[in-house]
A and B are shown apart, each in its own frame.
Chain A
Amino acid sequence: MAEIIQEEKGKKGGKRKAKKHGTRIDMTPMVDLMCLLITFFMLTTAFSKAKVMVITMPDKEDSKDKDKDKPQIAAFRTLNIILSEGDKVYYYVGMADPKKPPLPMLVKTNFSKDGIRKILLDKNRDLFAKIAEYRDKRVTGKIVVSDTTLDNEIKRMKKDDKKGPIVLIKADDKAKYKDIVNIIDEMAICNIASYAIVDINSVEKDMLKNAPK
């Protein structure tokens, strides 16, 4: 059967004159496939790269050079922030030294706009105003600088700052990772020049027990 049909076809084909007009290929299936592939790639490619927040910690001190080279911090400039369970934020100014009572009082606040940010902004008024002004000038076109110059200028301003707070961030064992990220983020938002993540000490743990819930 098959052979016969083939023969017939062959004969017919041979006899018939080839059509002159150009062949037209139906591209619809191809387009369909391409659409599918493109959608697939669009969905699987990671266009947006992960964003990161860079923190640099000081070198861990060796037991040898303890007490040596410890930076002296002015007590009135230090702002201690203690993070605790349930996104609670406590802060106090100065040092908590059990040898020099009374101990400072812990003040409770939160991560909202009127919470810790207000306090940080209030403390960091001068530097924040300076940086905001500089940025403003750039936006309105009064000064034209590149992004790197802007960054360097802000870095320089932060370095020269002698009035802003020195923030010590401490977290107790119940704090969550996001709290730490949030508070470092607040530092970036409020343009705090100097801050550090430090371990919570026993005095502060005791203070936390008596703190307002």
Chain B
Amino acid sequence: MPKIKPPVRTPHIDMTPMVDLFSVLLIFLLLTASFRPQEAAVITTPQSVSEKTAPDADLMTIFIGKDGKVFFNIDNGRDTSTHFRSKLLEKIGEQYKIKFTKAEIAKFGTMSSFGLPIKDLKTWLNTKETKDKDKLQTGIPMDSTDNQLAWWVREARLTNVGAEVAIKGDADTDYKIVKKVMDLLQDNKVNKFNLVTNLQKQEISMKDLPAATK
């Protein structure tokens, strides 16, 4: 008796559950995503055992690059209606007698870190090419004659009273510069710093205790 051959068919996989799953994942990721903010300089943070996480809003960050360039960033606050950045730019504009247009202020509100003298800010905001923009980023001046960083910090402190301060310094920055920034912050009554670091676990126990020398 000949065997009954089943008709050869290409197997068809039902992809509906897979699509369902993917949709769920996609929606989840879309909703939880907080995009990595673009940073003005590449900064390799030093390592530490600290497991505390930085607050995700109401944070003023000062970036210190390897070459000693200083960048500044402040977020718009937890409440989206506060628009701290725009307010800050207006205040700084008043301080330095620079008139920013509404469009410039709005644009500044959506950007992140920056590091350039105030006189270049207007040009920077109106430059479209990223390359040209990066060229303008020469660091915020903080000499004793014209300490612009101090003004940014001061006005930012007045704009967002509850903001914490984080310092994100490159591991190879000279301590001198970091110290200068810290002093400047202390002059503005900031005594608590969050130093941004990379987590690197190190466990030590009783065994590591050196033998008593007596």
> Interface on A for B, CB 8 Å cutoff?
27-28, 30-31, 34-35, 37-38, 41-42, 44-46, 49-60, 83, 113, 117-118, 121-122, 125, 128-129, 132-133, 136, 171, 173-182, 184-185, 188-190
Question: A57–B32 Cα gap in the complex (Å)?
Answer: 35
A212 to B29, CA, bound (A): 56
Is B2 interfacial (CB-CB < 8 Å)?
no
Residues of B in contact, count (CB < 8 Å): 61
Seen from chain B, the residues whose Cβ lies within 8 Å of a Cβ on chain A are 15-16, 18-19, 22-23, 25-26, 29-30, 32-36, 45-54, 56, 64, 166, 168-179, 182, 186-187, 191-199, 202, 204-206, 208-210, 212-213
With a cutoff of 8 Å between Cβ atoms, the chain A residues found around residue B52 in the complex are 51-54
CB distance from B177 to the nearest CB of A (A): 8
Query: 13 A-B contacts, Cβ less than 8 Å apart?
Result: A28-B15, A38-B29, A44-B36, A46-B36, A52-B50, A52-B54, A55-B192, A129-B206, A175-B174, A177-B175, A178-B171, A185-B197, A188-B48
Contact across chains for B29 and A35 when beta carbons are under 8 A apart: no
Partner of B51, one of A31, A35, A51, A132: A51
CB pair A177 B35 closer than 8 Å: no
Closest chain B residue, CB of each to CB of A124: B209
Listed from nearest, the 6 A-B pairs whose CB atoms lie closest are A178-B171, A52-B194, A178-B46, A53-B50, A41-B29, A181-B46
Chain B hits for A54, CB < 8 A:
50, 52, 192-195
Whether the pair B54, A51 counts as a contact (CB closer than 8 A) is yes
Question: B18 contacts which chain A residues (CB < 8 A)?
Answer: 31
Chain B interface mostly:
mixed
Q: Taking A51-B50, A57-B193, A188-B48 as contacts, is the C-beta distance between A177 and B173 under 8 angstroms?
A: yes
CA gap between A28 and B30 in the complex, in Å: 22
Kindly list chain A residues whose C-beta atoms are within 8 Å of the C-beta of B34.
45-46
Choice from A31, A51, A176, A177 contacting B53 with Cβ under 8 Å: A51
Known: A31-B19, A41-B33, A185-B48. A52 touches B174 (CB 8 A): no
For A57, the chain B residues whose CB sits under 8 A away are 182, 186, 191-193
**Are the C-beta atoms of B208 and A121 separated by less than 8 Å?**
yes
Query: Which chain B residue shows the least CB distance to A54?
Result: B194
New A-B pairs, 13, CB < 8 Å, besides A51-B48, A129-B209: A37-B26, A38-B29, A52-B197, A53-B50, A53-B195, A54-B193, A121-B204, A125-B212, A175-B174, A177-B170, A181-B47, A182-B48, A185-B49
Q: Which residue of A lies closest to B12 (CB)?
A: A24
Minimal Cβ-Cβ distance residue in A for B18: A31
The distance in angstroms between the C-alpha atoms of A31 and B175, with both chains bound, is 52
Closest to A49 in B: B53
The answer to whether B210 and A175 touch across the interface, beta carbons within 8 angstroms, is no
- Chain B nearest CB from A136 CB (Å) reads 8
Q: Which residues of B contact A188 (CB under 8 A)?
A: 48-50
Which single residue of chain A is at the shortest CB-CB distance from B179?
A171
Contacts of A46 in B (CB 8 A): 34-36
A132-B213 Cα distance, complex, nearest whole Å? 20
Residues of chain A within 8 A (CB-CB) of B206 are 129, 132-133, 136
The minimal Cβ–Cβ distance linking A106 to chain B, given in whole angstroms, is: 18
State whether B186 touches A176 (Cβ < 8 A): no
Q: Which residues of B contact A184 (CB under 8 A)?
A: 48, 195
A52-B196, A177-B174, A178-B172 in contact; A58/B33 too (CB < 8 A)? Answer: no
